[in-house]
Each structure stands twice: as C-alpha cells, then as structure tokens.
Amino acid sequence: MTIALLNVGKLPPALLARLGQTYALTTLADEADPAQFLADHAGRFTALVTSAAVGVSSALVERLPQLKVISSFGVGLDKMDVAHAQARGIAVGYTPDVLNDCVADIAFGLLIDVARGMGAADRFVRAGRWPQSVFPLGRKVSGARLGMVGMGRIGRTIAKRSQGFEMDVRYHTRTPLSGLPWQHEPALTELARWADFLVVITAGGAGTRHLVNSAVLDALGPDGFLINVARGSVVDETALIAALQTQRIAGAGLDVFADEPHVPQALMQLDNVVLLPHIASATRETRQAMADRVFDNLQAFFAEGRLLSAAPAP
C-alpha cells in the first residue's frame, strides 16, 4: 500500500512532483475545505512534510492519529513543537548542514555590503550623483572584530569564513562550547560592546525572542553593525529601527524580519540598512540539496526506521 503523505508547507514544485511519484501525496491547502478533509481523512496519513517558514501546529499533529514522521524543508524548528511530536513518538527530520555554506556566504555579503555601502553606492551611481559629489567613506572589514550570536553549524562556517579577512572572533551562547578556537563571551551586551560587526545566527522561538534589544544595540554603538541571518524574532525590530534612525548603530544587514514578507516602511527609507527577502539559502544547488534531504529523510525512515537528519530533542 502506498504511504499517505500530507503536505502543509511551501515546497518547491520539483520536490512536490518527486514526492507525488513515491507517496500518495495530498497538499492540504489545495482542498476546498481543509477542515472537512481532515475530519474525513486524517487517519490515513502516516507522514507529513512542511517547510521551516510554515511549520506545523501541535493542534494539527493531534488530528493525525497515525502520524509517524515529519520531514521539514529547512533548519528552523521554531514553528513546530518538536518536543510535543517526539513525546508522541513522531520522528522529526529537517535539513541541516546542506545550507551552511550559502547562509554563511550571504552573512558575509551583507556584512561587506553594509560596511562598504555597496548597495547604496550602486544607487548613487545610477542616480547620476557621481559627477556632482563624492560617495561617503565606508568601514574596513579586514581585521575587524566579529561577534557571533550563536555558534552552531552555520555560525562556525561564518567564523571560518572570517579567517580569510583576518578577523578576531568571539561568540555568545548560553554555555561555552568545547573544542572551539574562539573566545566565549557570557554576556551578550559585552560581546556587542567589543564587536565591530555583530552577526545573529541563533535559533528562533520563544527562548530567543528579542534577544538583541535596545541594550545590546546601544552596546554595539554608533560604529557597530548588526547582521541578522537567523530569525526576525531574535531582534527587537522596533528598537533596531530607532537605533538606525538615530544612528546609535552604524548600520544593519537583514535577511529576516519580524513579519515576513512585510518589511516596515521605516526600514525601507533608511540608507544604512541592506534588506534581503530571506534568500540566505536560496541557490539552486542548496535548495536542491535541501529537497533531496526532505525526500531522503522520508525514504530512510520508512526503509530503515531512521532519519538522516533528525531534529535534536529540545
């Protein structure tokens, strides 16, 4: 019997096509009445796919009595209750490692752009302003101090990238991590005070909501830059806008926002911030690798009872 698979996420069409060839796939959003569909068919599904941007609610998980495995497209787990699923004996898979390089690349792209004003300089040239005025000086990146908020797989990749720029690196996590060559800073405000660039690459969710607040931004100071490639919820966006508007920090590079895809107009009006539409992992190669991992997690689970990439227990 073909395994019944429920999709509740936003997945690439090619992945959906591949899943549909192997499983009895239903995309819940395509049903005319999703609630009635679940009332009639919830007991069929033993597998579920979603995306990090969408997640899956505990209420929906509870409506699927035969659910055995969830495979998510992405590394963010803040939009699903992993502990709840695991307590029910449901395996939760995700796609770590395969996107480390591309997220690290974007982090450094944002860092260099906001420090040297590359996007602003492009607008300066296109507006025909070069013949009449001189573009403002930027901030040197090589040799700068890099503070990392989080030091997981992607954080370590970013830190390794920084060695090519001869940067001094320190990091903040709740507890020091063993085997790392970089100095741990117990207090986030002290890390911000030390850093020229503060890169946010920690997990989202309630535990890190507004971790970067007014106090952290004030510690970063008028010569410091904030880079966020984690989750919009980790930074107090209202406090960040105020700090940028009053130049209490020098600038910011943002790939994530509090209410995506809606970006505050106040941010769009500022020239000391670089705004990206959450594209850190958005390369053809990485998205294909992520899609492969979603599929392979399901295949390994049903063939061998294991996941290639299992979400850690909270």
Q: At what angle are helices 100-116 and 153-162 packed, to 10 degrees?
A: 50
Dist. CA 42–CA 24, nearest whole Å: 13
In a domain, 236, yes or no: yes
Beta carbons of 40 and 80 less than 8 angstroms apart:
no
In a domain, 122, yes or no: yes
Active-site pick, 145, 184, 210, 278:
278
Entry pTM: 0.93
Whether 249 is in a domain gets the answer yes
pLDDT digits (tens, 9 = 90+) for 37-67: 999 999 999 999 999 999 999 999 999 999 9
Q: Are residues 221 and 108 in the same domain?
A: yes
Q: Is residue 24 part of a domain?
A: yes
User: For residue 253, what pLDDT is reported?
Assistant: 98
Q: Are residues 163 and 138 in the same domain?
A: yes
Is 44 catalytic? The answer is no
CATH number at residue 298: 3.40.50.720
Task: Give catalytic status of residue 231 as yes or no.
Answer: yes
Residue 272's identity, in one-letter code, is: N
Round to whole Å and give the CA distance between 228 and 154. Answer: 13
Q: Give the single-character DSSP code of 2.
A: P
Task: For residues 127 and 111, give the distance between their C-alpha atoms in angstroms, rounded to a whole number.
Answer: 24
pLDDT tens string 278-306: 999 999 999 999 999 999 999 999 999 99
Residue 191: count of CB within 10 angstroms of its CB: 23
Residues 60 and 123 in one domain: no
The H-or-E segment that residue 263 falls in is: none
Asked whether the beta carbons of 199 and 149 are under 8 A apart, the reply is yes
Check 62, 260, 285, 306 and give the catalytic one.
260
Catalytic residue among 170, 231, 287, 293: 231
Asked if residue 136 has pLDDT above 90, the reply is yes
∠ at Cα 214 (212, 220), nearest 5°?
A: 75
Using omega within 30 degrees of 0 as the cis cutoff, is the peptide bond preceding 261 cis?
yes
Q: Which amino acid is at 111?
A: L
In a domain, 26, yes or no: yes
Same domain, 68 and 208: no
Same-domain check for residues 50 and 114: no
Residues 257 and 127 in one domain: yes
Considering the domain architecture, whether residues 288 and 253 belong to the same structural domain is answered as no
SS3 state of residue 253: strand
Same domain for 119 and 85: no
73 and 42 fall within a common domain: yes
With 80 as the cut, is the pLDDT of residue 1 above it? no
Which band of pLDDT confidence, cut at 50, 70 and 90, is reported for residue 174?
very high
Range of the domain at 18: 4-98+284-304
Residue 258 lies in a domain: yes
Give domain status of residue 218, yes or no. yes
CB-neighbour burial class of residue 2 (10 A; exposed 0-12, middle 13-18, buried 19+): exposed
> What total of structural domains would you count in the chain?
2
The whole-angstrom separation of Cα 239 and Cα 220 is: 13
Active site residue 260: yes
Q: Which two tokens stand for residue 165?
A: 């720029």
Q: Is 106 in the same domain as 25? A: no
How far is residue 34's CA from residue 22's CA, in Å, rounded to a whole number?
23
Q: Are residues 153 and 254 in the same domain?
A: yes
223 with 261, same domain?
Answer: yes
pLDDT at 314: 75
Per-residue pLDDT tens over the stretch 76-126: 999 999 999 999 999 999 999 999 999 999 999 999 999 999 999 999 999
- Is residue 225, in this structure, part of any structural domain at all? yes
Q: 313 pLDDT exceeds 90?
A: no
* Cβ-contact 157, 100 below 8 angstroms: yes
